[in-house]
């Protein structure tokens, strides 16, 4: 076989291979779409009851207590927790909210409230104990 004929042959073999790959990929995509269409249902074909199962109702700001700390608003949607926080003295409530909602350390809280770090730690610990007692008694 001459070199030019060999190059032509290799070109035809590669061309045939590419066509087979494209055809195979097309068949795979068609099978995938067929399987998908057998499993899927359009929203227009669903009953109202089925649609209701899939829906979610947003409850933003519904029965939410707002606490103002460091010029920012903190919303607490759990009524029992909000009432327990309201029952705490203002300084202890601020420490708890800064610690848990702002993620501040005792040292950072002490700097903001002009207290000793140990005082902040003591008030935070005692506040958590009070909250625990209050929330357990409500259950």
What is the number of H-type helices and E-type strands within the chain? 6, 2
Give the model's pLDDT for residue 62: 67
Q: 116 pLDDT exceeds 70?
A: yes
Separation between Cα atoms, residue 67 and residue 86, nearest integer Å: 9
For 108, other C-beta atoms within 10 Å of its C-beta total 15
Give the model's pLDDT for residue 3: 66
Separation between Cα atoms, residue 92 and residue 85, nearest integer Å: 9
CATH class of 65-138: mainly alpha
The position carrying tokens 């350390």 is: 105
What b/e readout covers 17-34, taking b as 16+ CB neighbours within 10 angstroms? Answer: eeeeeeeeeeeeeeeeee
What is the biggest distance separating any 2 CA atoms in the chain, rounded to whole angstroms? 99
Nearest Cα neighbor of 83 from 27, 8, 137 is: 137
Q: 5 pLDDT exceeds 80?
A: yes
84 close to 134: Cβ distance less than 8 angstroms: yes
- Please, what is the average pLDDT of the chain? 87
Strand partners, 69: 72
pLDDT, greater one: 77 or 3: 77
User: Of 15-24, 41-50, 61-70, where does mean pLDDT reach its minimum?
Assistant: 61-70
The 8-class DSSP code of residue 61 comes to T
């Amino acid at each position: 076989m001459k070199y030019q004929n060999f190059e032509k042959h290799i070109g035809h073999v590669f061309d045939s291979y590419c066509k087979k790959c494209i055809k195979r990929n097309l068949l795979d995509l068609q099978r995938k779409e067929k399987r998908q269409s057998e499993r899927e249902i359009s929203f227009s074909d669903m009953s109202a009851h089925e649609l209701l199962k899939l829906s979610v109702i947003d409850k933003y700001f519904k029965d939410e207590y707002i606490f103002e700390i460091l010029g920012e608003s903190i919303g607490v949607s759990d009524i029992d927790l909000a009432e327990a926080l309201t029952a705490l003295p203002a300084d202890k409530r601020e420490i708890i909210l800064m610690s848990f909602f702002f993620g501040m350390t005792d040292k950072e809280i002490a700097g903001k409230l002009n207290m000793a770090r140990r005082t902040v730690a003591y008030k935070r610990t005692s506040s958590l104990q009070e909250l625990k007692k209050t929330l357990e008694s409500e259950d």
